[in-house]
Amino acid sequence: MDHILKAVDDDLGALSYAVAALGDLAVAQVRASVDVFARHDLPAAEKVVRADNALDLQDAEIEKNAVRFIALRQPMADDLRRPIAAMKIAMQLERCGDLAKNIAKRVPRLDKAPTEAQAASISELGRLVAERLAAVIASYRGNDAQGAYEVWVKDTDIDERHEGVVREIVAAMAAAPDSVGDSIHLLFIAKNLERIGDHATNVAELVHYQITGTDLANRPKL
């Protein structure tokens, strides 16, 4: 049911639109960062680094509008949860952007391009993470608590993939000690992706909270 005061619906709609748009930007940045890493494309990596500024600005705008909404509309119940969740989700997405930027910043620091196997392995982890982030943004856009729950409960496959990647990198370090410098960068890139997966899970919790007013808890651990 619509609000009697139409401006409330307009404000909430604009806030949700901005959060979902930030989510799309974050997904695009994660995909781009993994792509520039795999192709060892230094100019494109620089573009990814610069593009992070848009996420910072969008996050700040969402926070400003959420605070304004709370102050002017004095919302209750789910109307109150929406600006609170918007601010917290935006913060999580902004952190995803920072981590994608960190990945892109490591690209020019690598002594040489990653091997085909390394690129494929990390790209697969990146694909999983970006897919998860896109799924949780879709659940936010669709006001879909079940969709958010499914993202939340599936986090373990990213952790498993991350551990697999780490094992591969450690094995490569043992086999070729002269490439330890690059391998450490690869470990950080993998860790950054795994952290983005954690943020996607956090967003799933917030989407679920926004819709239902209840917290998710007791997720099965590895």
Any idea which residue has 């609170």 for tokens? 84
Those residues whose C-beta lies under 8 Å from the C-beta of residue 2, and which sit 6 or more positions away, are 9
Does 222 bind other proteins (CB under 8 A)? Our answer is no
Looking at beta carbons only, is 23 or 75 nearer to other proteins?
75
Residue window 56-95: x/- pattern of binding to other proteins, with contact defined by CB under 8 A: ------------------xxxxxxxx--------------
Q: Which stretch binds other proteins (CB under 8 A): 1-9, 42-50, 113-121, 142-150?
A: 1-9
Helices (H), the chain: 6-39, 42-73, 77-106, 116-141, 145-153, 156-175, 180-212
Does 215 bind other proteins (CB under 8 A)? Our answer is no
Shortest separation between residue 103's beta carbon and other proteins, angstroms: 36
User: How far, in whole angstroms, is CA 41 from its chain's centroid?
Assistant: 22
SS3 per-residue string spanning 159-199: HHHHHHHHHHHHHHHHHCHHHHHHHHHHHHHHHHHHHHHHH
Residue window 159-198: x/- pattern of binding to other proteins, with contact defined by CB under 8 A: ----------------------------------------
Residues making contact with other proteins (CB under 8 A): 1-5, 8, 74-81, 213-214
